[in-house]
Amino acid sequence: MSINEIVIRPVLMNGSVIGLFLIPMICMRLFAEEKRSGTIELLMTSPVRDIEVILGKWLAAVVLYALTLALSAVNLTFLFAYGKPDWKPILIGYVGLLLQGGALLAVGTFFSTLTRNQIIAGVSSFCVFLCLWIIGWLLSSTPRRPRRCWAISPW
């Protein structure tokens, strides 16, 4: 077992769980606040295309998330100072976290356009993310459910 397996992999997996809480907070404001304060009309009539506005807001959210990830990488300097972890898997792990963050931020941006209340936007995107999380338990085999439970489960 290498240091990557013991230390870094669980850290990355926990990082994704923290992202689950953080990402709704980053993107809930994107459009909901514009709609609440009425600046959305200004934004929509300004000489930029809709897709540019959306991409700009999404990219801003991704950059903020990437900065958070970069801060979490500060811990790794100690690991490199006192040990010899394999750096390539770490890099790929962070790429994965960034891709996952980008995907969730895109979904969160969509939820932000549905309402003018940022709390509603945040909570509904959090609910969807949580569902995306626990739906994976359907595939995991360790807590094997007895057959009787399968008979009453909808899938």
Partner 1 sequence: MVTEFDSTPATKVLGYLSVVTHLEPFTKGLLDVKEVVYFLSAIFLGLFLTAVPRNRCGGGHKMNSVGSKQAQTKFSGYVTLYILVIVAVLAAANYLANQHDASYDSTKNKLYSLSNQTDKVVKGLKQDVAITYFDRSTEFSRARDLLAATPTFLRG
Contact residues for partner 1 (CB under 8 A)? 2, 4, 8-9, 12-13, 16, 31, 35, 40, 44, 50-51, 54-55, 58, 86, 88-93, 95-97, 99-100, 102-110, 113, 129, 132-136, 138-139, 141-142, 144-145, 150, 155
Q: 89 and 4 in contact (C-beta within 8 Å)? A: yes
* Least spacing, CB of residue 71 vs partner 1, in Å: 19
CA distance 111 to 25: 12
* Least spacing, CB of residue 26 vs partner 1, in Å: 14
Q: Which long-range contacts (CB under 8 A, 24 or more apart) does 52-57 make?
A: 54/109, 57/30, 57/31, 57/109
CA distance 54 to 8: 34
Which residue type sits at 100? Q
* Least spacing, CB of residue 79 vs partner 1, in Å: 15
Phi (first) and psi of residue 83, to 5 degrees: -145, -175
* Least spacing, CB of residue 119 vs partner 1, in Å: 19
